[in-house]
């Protein structure tokens, strides 16, 4: 390809890409589901593999010319088996385009419509693809011990299946395994799911396995967020305990966009059919190549050091924020993400997240256990350490980040009563916010991203 081909052919798109690179370079992404991929991963994703259609599975394609695609997929599966230390009777699917697709493929493979699945309540940390639906009155939902769903079927899984959702303990915000067991025995689901997007603690997979066995249910562990930490051995693994393990590949695993499904071999054959023809046609071979390269990187010794540092950084950041009076849900974290109830600060999730972004600290608003506010402006914020750790930041930088967050909150507290449009205007005019943004930019220059 000629140099500057995109810039010459389509300068508008080229300019947007350059602006996004500048944004990523000059701000700190604290969103726990974001990461930054190596040049090798990005090269594989942008390769000639994107031109090939490969509908089908290894040695069973519907199109000719897939001999090298078969080799690529075999290599990716082999690396996944090694990295996640799969038992001999387990196998792998790497074709699902995203985590939600992977989860839905599993449901299609092992459930019949109207079967009961049991998963974690979304405001307590669960995920949309685990059967989310809701009623507009969040206050009524918050009072319910068990959530049986609402009229607004947000995700297709809530339309296809009967969904029962367990909540965390109302005082500790931790899993109450005895209560989960009680719910399972009451509703007798065909599938029990753990995992989500905003639960800061490790999960006892053996206890969940025992609960599933007690009601003769299958057990699926969704480790989308923790995959890299589990692969590195710094968090507990559900592999060999759950019946199925699903994950995305772009978060802590740092392997490009896509998904991986691990399961007992007899289930994988069903899940393969859930992926194709159940949900999609041909897989994205270039994305599989990116996953393959990323898995190869994760098999290197320095990846374990990286995963350990993610958790160390999260612990230090959480500790510093706690000292500054931030209300950490569950009192801290076991992994890469932190959930903060902003109620005691008098400024809630939407306003806080926008102000942090203006100051160069990119995080997201989030619901929390016992949430009574609208999902459009929830009580909490969520942040994490995967990408800042990829940049090479360690404990001293986490202390800086916590201090910046504290300064931002103090600046915006007097603005809490403003309408959001007026609030944004005040942020844009704030010299104090600009000062922090410039300080963040200065730190980013010391830890540049390798584009």
Tokens for 320?
């510093």
CA 188 to chain centre: 28
Please indicate whether residue 53 is annotated as part of the active site.
Answer: yes
Q: Of 55, 70, 395, 406, which residue is the catalytic one? A: 55
- Which of these, 122, 118, 120, 117, lies nearest to 135 by C-alpha position? 122
Using the 8-state DSSP alphabet, how is residue 134 labeled?
Answer: B
d(CA 342, CA 359): 18
Please indicate whether residue 89 is annotated as part of the active site.
Answer: no
Using the 8-state DSSP alphabet, how is residue 89 labeled?
Answer: T
Helix (H) or strand (E) holding 164: strand 162-166
d(CA 386, CA 398): 12
Please indicate whether residue 55 is annotated as part of the active site.
Answer: yes
Q: Of 124, 222, 320, 371, which residue is the catalytic one? A: 222
Half-sphere CA count of 354, side-chain side, radius 13 A? 19
Tokens for 254?
């740092």
Please indicate whether residue 205 is annotated as part of the active site.
Answer: no
In DSSP terms, 147 is beta-bridged to 165
List helix spans (H) across 261-419: 265-275, 285-298, 301-323, 349-358, 386-390, 395-412
Q: Of 61, 201, 251, 373, which residue is the catalytic one? A: 251
d(CA 122, CA 197): 8
d(CA 96, CA 231): 19
- Which of these, 272, 293, 289, 276, lies nearest to 93 by C-alpha position? 272
Please indicate whether residue 42 is annotated as part of the active site.
Answer: no
Using the 8-state DSSP alphabet, how is residue 189 labeled?
Answer: -
408: helix, strand or coil: helix
In DSSP terms, 366 is beta-bridged to 380
Please indicate whether residue 395 is annotated as part of the active site.
Answer: no
Using the 8-state DSSP alphabet, how is residue 388 labeled?
Answer: H
Tokens for 377?
């402006």
Q: Of 182, 207, 257, 354, which residue is the catalytic one? A: 257
Q: Of 76, 248, 252, 333, which residue is the catalytic one? A: 248
Q: Of 26, 34, 53, 327, which residue is the catalytic one? A: 53
Residues acting as catalytic residues:
53, 55, 222, 248, 251, 257
């Amino acid at each position: 390809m000629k140099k500057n081909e995109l810039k010459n052919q389509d300068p508008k798109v080229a300019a947007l890409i350059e602006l996004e690179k500048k944004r990523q370079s000059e701000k700190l992404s604290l969103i726990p589901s974001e990461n930054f991929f190596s040049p090798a991963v990005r090269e594989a994703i942008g390769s000639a593999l994107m031109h090939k259609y490969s509908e089908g599975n290894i040695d069973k394609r519907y199109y000719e010319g897939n001999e090298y695609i078969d080799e690529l997929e075999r290599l990716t599966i082999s690396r996944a088996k090694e990295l996640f230390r799969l038992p001999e009777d387990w196998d792998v699917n790497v074709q699902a385009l995203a985590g939600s697709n992977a989860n839905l493929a599993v449901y299609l493979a092992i459930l019949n419509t109207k079967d009961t699945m049991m998963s974690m309540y979304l405001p307590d940390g669960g995920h949309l693809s685990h059967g989310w639906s809701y009623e507009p009155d969040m206050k009524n939902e918050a009072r319910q011990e068990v959530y049986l769903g609402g009229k607004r079927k947000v995700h297709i899984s809530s339309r296809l299946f009967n969904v029962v959702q367990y909540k965390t303990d109302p005082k500790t915000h931790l899993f109450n395994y005895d209560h989960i067991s009680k719910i399972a025995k009451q509703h007798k689901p065909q599938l029990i799911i753990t995992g989500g997007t905003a639960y800061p603690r490790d999960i006892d997979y053996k206890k969940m396995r025992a609960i599933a066995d007690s009601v003769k249910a299958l057990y699926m562990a969704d480790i989308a967020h923790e995959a890299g930490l589990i692969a590195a051995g710094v968090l507990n693994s559900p592999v060999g305990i759950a019946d199925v393990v699903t994950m995305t590949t772009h978060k802590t695993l740092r392997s490009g966009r896509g998904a991986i499904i691990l399961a007992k071999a007899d289930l994988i054959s069903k899940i393969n059919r859930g992926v194709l023809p159940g949900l999609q046609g041909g897989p994205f071979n270039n994305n599989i190549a990116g996953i393959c390269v990323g898995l190869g990187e994760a098999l290197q010794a320095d990846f374990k050091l990286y995963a350990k540092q993610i958790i160390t950084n999260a612990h230090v950041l959480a500790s510093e924020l706690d000292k500054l009076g931030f209300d950490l849900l569950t009192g801290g974290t076991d992994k890469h993400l932190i959930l903060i109830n902003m109620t005691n600060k008098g400024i809630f999730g939407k306003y806080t997240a926008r102000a942090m972004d203006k100051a160069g600290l990119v995080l997201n608003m989030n619901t929390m256990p016992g949430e009574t506010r609208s999902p459009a402006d929830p009580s909490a914020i969520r942040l994490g350490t995967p990408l800042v750790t990829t940049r090479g930041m360690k404990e001293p930088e986490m202390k800086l980040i916590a201090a910046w967050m504290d300064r931002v909150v103090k600046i915006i507290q007097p603005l809490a009563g403003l309408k959001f449009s007026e609030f944004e205007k005040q942020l844009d005019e704030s010299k104090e916010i600009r000062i922090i943004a410039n300080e963040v930019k200065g730190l980013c220059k010391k830890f540049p991203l390798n584009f």
